[in-house]
Chain A
Amino acid sequence: MSNKLGSGFVEFEQLVKDGAVELLNHIEVGDFSGAIQKIQELSEARHSSFYNEVGLLTRSLHDAIRDFQVDSIDLVVGEGGADTSKITDASDRLNYVIETTSAAANKTMDMVDSSVPVASELQTQARGLRKDWSRLIQRDLTPQEFRDLYKRIDLFLGYADESATTLHSNLNTILLEQGYQDLTGQVIARVNDLIRDVEVKLVHLVAVAGRVDSISGIEHKESEFEHDDTRGHGPAINKQSNPEVLGSQDEVDDLLSSLGF
Chain B
Amino acid sequence: MGVEVALDKNMKILIVDDFSTMRRIIKNLLRDLGFTNTVEADDGTTALPILQGGTIDFLVTDWNMPGMTGIELLRAVRADEKLKTTPVLMVTAEAKRDQIIAAAQAGVNGYVVKPFTAVALKEKIEKIFERIDAAK
A interface list, Cβ under 8 A from B:
101-102, 105-106, 109, 112-113, 229-236, 239, 244-249, 252, 255-256, 259, 261
> Which one of A102, A229, A234, A249 lies within 8 Å of B98 (CB-CB)?
A229
25 residue pairs from A and B, CB less than 8 Å apart: A102-B20, A106-B21, A109-B21, A109-B25, A112-B28, A113-B28, A229-B96, A229-B98, A229-B102, A230-B71, A231-B69, A232-B63, A232-B69, A232-B70, A233-B64, A233-B94, A236-B96, A245-B96, A246-B95, A246-B96, A246-B100, A249-B113, A252-B95, A252-B100, A261-B104
Size bracket of the B interface? 20 to 34
Nearest-Cβ distance from residue B71 to partner chain A, whole angstroms: 6
Nearest-Cβ distance from residue A181 to partner chain B, whole angstroms: 15
**Which residues from chain B contact A102 at a C-beta distance below 8 Å?**
19-21
Bound complex: CA A245 to CA B69 (Å): 19
Bound complex: CA A198 to CA B109 (Å): 44
- B63-110 at interface with A (beta carbon < 8 Å): 63-65, 69-72, 92-102, 104
B39 in the interface (beta carbon within 8 A): no
Bound complex: CA A229 to CA B74 (Å): 14
B51 in the interface (beta carbon within 8 A): no
Bound complex: CA A249 to CA B98 (Å): 15
- Most interface-central of B93, B95, B99 (chain A CB within 10 A): B95
Bound complex: CA A105 to CA B69 (Å): 24
Nearest-Cβ distance from residue A99 to partner chain B, whole angstroms: 11
A231 near B64: Cβ-Cβ < 8 Å: yes
Bound complex: CA A13 to CA B100 (Å): 58
Bound complex: CA A245 to CA B100 (Å): 10
Nearest-Cβ distance from residue A148 to partner chain B, whole angstroms: 33
**Which residues from chain A contact B100 at a C-beta distance below 8 Å?**
246, 252, 255-256
A234 near B64: Cβ-Cβ < 8 Å: yes
Nearest-Cβ distance from residue B122 to partner chain A, whole angstroms: 13
Bound complex: CA A234 to CA B66 (Å): 12
Nearest-Cβ distance from residue B95 to partner chain A, whole angstroms: 5
A249 near B112: Cβ-Cβ < 8 Å: yes
**Which residues from chain B contact A112 at a C-beta distance below 8 Å?**
28
Bound complex: CA A113 to CA B94 (Å): 29
B114 in the interface (beta carbon within 8 A): yes
Bound complex: CA A259 to CA B101 (Å): 8
Nearest-Cβ distance from residue A229 to partner chain B, whole angstroms: 5
Bound complex: CA A232 to CA B64 (Å): 5
Nearest-Cβ distance from residue B110 to partner chain A, whole angstroms: 8
**Which residues from chain B contact A236 at a C-beta distance below 8 Å?**
93, 95-96
B104 near A259: Cβ-Cβ < 8 Å: yes
**Which residues from chain B contact A255 at a C-beta distance below 8 Å?**
97, 100-101
> Which one of A101, A232, A249 lies within 8 Å of B116 (CB-CB)?
A249
A235 near B116: Cβ-Cβ < 8 Å: no
Contacts A249-B112, A249-B113: A233 and B28 contacting too (C-beta < 8 A)? no
A244 near B96: Cβ-Cβ < 8 Å: yes
B9 in the interface (beta carbon within 8 A): no
B97 near A230: Cβ-Cβ < 8 Å: no
Nearest-Cβ distance from residue A199 to partner chain B, whole angstroms: 25
**Which residues from chain B contact A232 at a C-beta distance below 8 Å?**
63-65, 69-71, 92, 94, 99
Contacts A233-B64, A236-B95, A259-B101: A105 and B28 contacting too (C-beta < 8 A)? no
**Which residues from chain A contact B95 at a C-beta distance below 8 Å?**
236, 239, 245-247, 252
